Amino acid sequence: MFIEMDLQSEVPLYAQLVDQLIEGIASGALHPGDPLPSVRSLAADLGINLHTVNKAYTLLKQEGFLQVHRKQGVVVNAEGMPGVTEAFERKLDAQLKTLAAEAAVRGLSAEAFAEKCAGAYRSAITGGGESL
Amino acid sequence: MFIEMDLQSEVPLYAQLVDQLIEGIASGALHPGDPLPSVRSLAADLGINLHTVNKAYTLLKQEGFLQVHRKQGVVVNAEGMPGVTEAFERKLDAQLKTLAAEAAVRGLSAEAFAEKCAGAYRSAITGGGESL
Amino acid sequence: MFIEMDLQSEVPLYAQLVDQLIEGIASGALHPGDPLPSVRSLAADLGINLHTVNKAYTLLKQEGFLQVHRKQGVVVNAEGMPGVTEAFERKLDAQLKTLAAEAAVRGLSAEAFAEKCAGAYRSAITGGGESL
Amino acid sequence: MFIEMDLQSEVPLYAQLVDQLIEGIASGALHPGDPLPSVRSLAADLGINLHTVNKAYTLLKQEGFLQVHRKQGVVVNAEGMPGVTEAFERKLDAQLKTLAAEAAVRGLSAEAFAEKCAGAYRSAITGGGESL
DNA sequence: GTGGTCTAGACCACG
DNA sequence: GTGGTCTAGACCACT
C-alpha cells in the first residue's frame, strides 16, 4: 500500500488519508470503479482506528470522489470525478494566495514559484516524489 | 487597518492574522521597520482576544518576520525578511502537491493550475484580489 | 421486467425492490392476481441475493400487497390492496413533514411544493418519470 | 427545548436531530444567526452521546444550514439558508414518488394526497402538529 | 468551556 | 464480513 501516516504531523490523520487517496487517484494508482480496502482492513494496515478511516471515506463520499457499492464495498466513483466546484475554487485561491505571499516575502521569485507549482502538478499526476 | 477576521472560517483567528500580516508585507503595505499596532489596540480594533494577537505576533517573531524594537514596540524586521528555509520549502511542497492533486482530479489542466498560481502570486505582491 | 437496482444508492436493495413493486402496482403495470417472478428467477435477473428478494416479498406479503397462490406462486393480492392504515398514515405524515420543512427552509414555496407533490402522484399512477 | 428523541425509531438519532433542527428553522423557532446549544449541553439535555449531536451538527454545517462562529459557537447560518440544490431535488422527487405510489395503491386519491402535502407544509412553517 | 480529533468497543442491517 | 450507528472516555487547540 502506498499510504503512510505521519503521527507527528499537525495535520489530522483523517485529512492525511483524504489527501493521499486523492493523490492516489490523481496519479492513476486508483481508477474510477476500483475498490478500496475496507475500513477495518485499512485501519489495521495503517495502525489507526477504523473510525478515523471511516471519517476520511465519509468525507470523500460526500465530495463525490468515492461511492459505496453494495456488493463491492467502497469504490472510486465510477461515474467520474467531481468537477471544479465553487467551494474548491475558493479553497484553492485562498491557500494559493497565502502560500504565494509567504513565498514572495521570503524572496522566492515569481518564476521560481511558478516552477514549484508546475512541479507539484507534474508530481501529482505521475505519483512521483521527484521534481519536488 | 486592512485586516479582517472571518469568525466563520475554519482557519484559527491567530493564523488568519499571521497570514494577513505576511500578505501585508508581500503587498508592500508594510515595509521593513514599520511599526505594528500594539497587541492591545489591535485586539480592540479586531474585536478579538489579547492572547490571540499575542500568539500571532509571537509566531511571526519566531519566524523572523517581526522584531521587538525598544521604543516602537513590535516592528517589521528592519534587517530584512527570512529567506527560503528548509521548513518552508517542505510546507510549500506538501501543500502545493495536495492542492495540485485535487485540482488535477477535478479536471483542472496543468495550464489552468499554473495560471491560478501565477495569479495568486501577482495578487499577493500587488495586494489586489483581482485575477483570482 | 421494469425493475432496476441501484447498487450505489443508500436505500437497501430489498427496500428498493419493495418500492418498485409498489410503484408497478400503482402504475398499472401489475394488476391484482398477476403472478410475480419466482424468488430465484428474479434474484438471477437482478443479479442480487436470494435472501434480498425473499425479504422484499415477505415484507409485501405482511403488508397485504402480495399473497401466496397455490399454483402460481407469489401473486399480487387478488382481493384488493390494503387501505390507508394508521401506521401508513403516521409514516406518510412524518416523512412529508420532514420533506416540507427542508423544502420551505430552502426557499421552495408552498405552491412549488404542492406542484412537486401533484407531479409525483401523477408520475406514480402513470409510471412515467415526467413532470418530476 | 422543543426537541425530542425517539429511541425506538428506526431513524438514526443523528438524523432525527437533523430533521428537527431543520423543522425548527422552518417554523421560525430558530432564526439565522441564532446560537444553538453546545454539543455537550444538548447531548446532556437529550440524554444522548455528544458524538451523536456532533454528527448532526457536522452534517448541517456541510449542507450550509449551520456555521461555527468562533465566539458564539454553533449558530444558524446568518447569511441565509442554502437554496434548492440538485441533490435535494433528486431526494425530494424520489421520496415523494415512493410515498405517492404507496398512497395511490392504498386508495388515497390525488386530492387527498395533495391535501396531506399542503397540510405538511403548513404544519412545517407554523411549527404546529395540527392539520396533520 | 468550546469544537475537533482520536481511540475503543459494541450492536445492527445488509447481502 | 461490510458499512453504519451509538456510546464512552480522553486529549488538544482555540478563545
Residue B64: exposed, middle, or buried by beta-carbon count in 10 A (0-12, 13-18, 19+)? middle
Task: Give the nucleotide nearest to A57 (CA→C1').
Answer: F3
Question: Helices D110-126 and C110-126: crossing angle, nearest 10°?
Answer: 150
**In the predicted model, what is the mean pLDDT of residues B25-47?**
94
Query: Average pLDDT, whole number, for chain C?
Result: 93
Q: Which residues of A are less than 8 Å from C9 in CB distance?
A: 70
Q: Of the ranges B2-6, B91-95, B97-101, D28-32, which one carries the lowest mean pLDDT score?
A: B2-6
The three cell numbers locating residue B60 = 511571526
Evaluate whether A121 touches B113 at the Cβ level (below 8 Å). yes
Q: Is the CB of residue C7 less than 8 Å away from at least one CB of chain A? A: yes
Q: Is the CB of residue D69 less than 8 Å away from at least one CB of chain B? A: yes
Other residues' Cβ atoms within 10 Å of the Cβ of residue C55:
18
Other residues' Cβ atoms within 10 Å of the Cβ of residue A17:
24
Residue D16's alpha-carbon distances to A61, D9, D46, in angstroms, are 21, 9, 12
Q: Which residues of C are less than 8 Å from A67 in CB distance?
A: 8
CA-wise closest residue to B29 among B131, B132, B130, B128:
B128
The three cell numbers locating residue B76 = 517589521
User: For residue D2, is pLDDT > 90?
Assistant: no
Evaluate whether D115 touches C92 at the Cβ level (below 8 Å). no
R_g of chain D computed on alpha carbons:
17
User: For residue B131, is pLDDT > 50?
Assistant: no
User: For residue B73, is pLDDT > 60?
Assistant: yes
pLDDT tens for chain A, 132 residues: list them: 589 999 999 999 999 999 999 999 999 999 999 999 999 999 999 999 999 999 999 999 999 999 999 999 999 999 999 999 999 999 999 999 999 999 999 999 999 999 999 999 999 999 875 444
Gap between the Cα atoms of D104 and C122, Å rounded: 10
Evaluate whether B65 touches B76 at the Cβ level (below 8 Å). yes
CA C17 centroid distance within chain: 7
User: Residue D115 — very low, low, confident or very high, per pLDDT cuts 50/70/90?
Assistant: very high
For A72-100, what is each residue's pLDDT tens digit?
999 999 999 999 999 999 999 999 999 99
For C61-106, what is each residue's pLDDT tens digit?
999 999 999 888 999 999 999 999 999 999 999 999 999 999 999 9
Of chain D, the percentage scoring pLDDT greater than 70 comes to 95
User: Residue D127 — very low, low, confident or very high, per pLDDT cuts 50/70/90?
Assistant: confident
For C79-88, what is each residue's pLDDT tens digit?
999 999 999 9
- Which residues in 22-61 of chain A line strand E, with CB less than 7 A from it? 48-49, 51-52, 55
CA-wise closest residue to D120 among D99, D104, D89:
D99
User: For residue D129, is pLDDT > 60?
Assistant: no
Residue A109: exposed, middle, or buried by beta-carbon count in 10 A (0-12, 13-18, 19+)? exposed
Residue C43's alpha-carbon distances to A98, C22, C54, in angstroms, are 56, 18, 9
For D79-100, what is each residue's pLDDT tens digit?
999 999 999 999 999 999 999 9
Gap between the Cα atoms of C30 and D128, Å rounded: 39
The three cell numbers locating residue D57 = 451538527
Residue nearest to nucleotide E8 (CA to C1'): A49
For D28-67, what is each residue's pLDDT tens digit?
999 999 999 999 999 999 999 999 999 999 999 999 999 9
- What per-residue confidence (pLDDT) applies to B127? 79
CA(C97)–C1'(E13) in Å? Answer: 26
CA-wise closest residue to C42 among C30, C29, C51, C33:
C51
Residue nearest to nucleotide E7 (CA to C1'): A49
Rounded to a whole number of angstroms, the distance from the CA of D12 to the nearest CA of chain B is: 28
**In the predicted model, what is the mean pLDDT of residues B6-18?**
94
Gap between the Cα atoms of B41 and B47, Å rounded: 10
Q: Which residues of B are less than 8 Å from A116 in CB distance?
A: 92-93, 96
Contact B65 A105 (CB under 8 A): yes
User: For residue B52, is pLDDT > 80?
Assistant: yes
- What per-residue confidence (pLDDT) applies to A132? 41
Residue D38 makes CB contacts below 8 A (sequence gap 6+) with D73, D74
Task: Give the residue ranges with Cβ < 7 A from strand F.
Answer: A 36, 38-41, 51, 54, 57-58, 61, 68, 73-74; B 12-15, 48-49, 51-52, 55; D 12-15, 48-49, 51-52, 55, 70-71
Of chain B, the percentage scoring pLDDT greater than 90 comes to 90
- What per-residue confidence (pLDDT) applies to C132? 41
Question: In order of start, what are the domains of chain C with their CATH numbers?
Answer: 13-76 (1.10.10.10), 86-126 (no CATH)
Residue C19 phi/psi, 5-degree rounding, is -60, -45
Task: Give the nucleotide nearest to A49 (CA→C1').
Answer: E7
Beta bridge partners of C68: C74
Gap between the Cα atoms of D13 and D11, Å rounded: 6
- What per-residue confidence (pLDDT) applies to D1? 53
**In the predicted model, what is the mean pLDDT of residues C25-32?**
95
Residue nearest to nucleotide E12 (CA to C1'): D10
**In the predicted model, what is the mean pLDDT of residues C111-117?**
97
Evaluate whether B114 touches A118 at the Cβ level (below 8 Å). yes
- What per-residue confidence (pLDDT) applies to B2? 82
Task: Give the nucleotide nearest to D12 (CA→C1').
Answer: F5
User: For residue B132, is pLDDT > 50?
Assistant: no
Query: Average pLDDT, whole number, for chain D?
Result: 93
Question: Helices D13-27 and D50-63: crossing angle, nearest 10°?
Answer: 50
CA(A15)–C1'(F5) in Å? Answer: 22
**DSSP structure class, residue A67:** E
- Partners of chain C (3+ Cβ pairs below 8 A): A, D
